[in-house]
Amino acid sequence: MPVQRSGTTVPHPEPKRSRRSHRPRSTAAGALLAVLFPATALPAAAAPGPTGGTEPPPRGSAYLGMGVVRHDGQGGLPVPVRAAQTEGVDVSSHQGNVDWSGLRTSGVRWAYVKATEGTYYKNPYFAQQYNGSYDIGMVRGAYHFATPDTASGAAQADYFVNNGGGWSGDGRTLPGALDIEWNPYGAACYGRTASGMVTWIRDFLARYKARTGRDAVIYTSTSWWKQCTGNYSGFGANTPLWIARYNTTPGELPAGWDFQTMWQYTSSGPIVGDHNKFNGAYDRVVALANG
């Protein structure tokens, strides 16, 4: 069965940082993110960064849920609840080479790996992470961090598919995920109106489906979705929802979805930080992989 690998050229290398750790984190969001993004001297006119200051991080360094703590806070899923659904993780180059064996032993059964961002960045650790999760027996998928201010939705879907974000009907490959959330590099909604953002997302989804035959997953937070799409309800019929909320329940969902398919419930789980729950048993994970 085919195994997809990404290229090795990285136009904007992403700094390797130990963002995800199993050590307990402070509940103070500002202190947490200040550690992740040390202050640098920039002009006062710079756009707000994820820490709430004026320092944007380097392009390419975004990851799933980068702005969730700042905007929505950090709670935590009680340990007894963690066994109720199927455990998964998401990773990017911040984790480097991932201990997939340790994650598998801990009960993780599926994973999403950052493949691309915009049309300018490819995860240099993609092969180890994407193929490593597959080789250890997990169901895996790839995600794309959207930057609607840098290129069209269709162009970014093409870049994603061409660099690891495709799909194969092998029963172990999840459809690609569109990470559309708080902008770590500037204005929260990437300078787009709500209708313009909806159009951008629609173009990405349409091109991804044309290229792969699958409906992509949307990863977002309800607060961002309300602010930046006007709480648009038109994608829920066909597009699986991956909701970000670091608390004891997924909470309110964006308009158009009655339930989430996946839920990113913490950024401070064991081994790699970002842990998720699939809304169903393992056979439902496989069902999504199979389409």
Which amino acids are annotated catalytic?
Answer: 90, 179, 181
CB distance 54 to 7 below 8 Å: no
Indicate the SS3 state at residue 71. Answer: helix
Closest-CA residue to 15 (of 99, 125, 141): 125
Name the DSSP letter for residue 269: E
Residue 162 neighbours by CB under 8 Å, 6+ apart: none
Return d(Cα 114, Cα 164) in angstroms, integer. 9
Strands (E), the chain: 86-91, 110-117, 121-122, 139-145, 177-179, 217-220, 241-244, 262-269, 273-278
Specify which residues 277 forms β-bridges with: 87, 263
Cα distances (Å, whole numbers) of residue 57 to 14, 50, 66, 72, 185: 10, 8, 11, 20, 6
| One-character DSSP codes across 206-234 | HHHHHHHSSPPEEEE-HHHHHHHHSS--T
Q: Give residue for tokens 């849920």.
A: 65
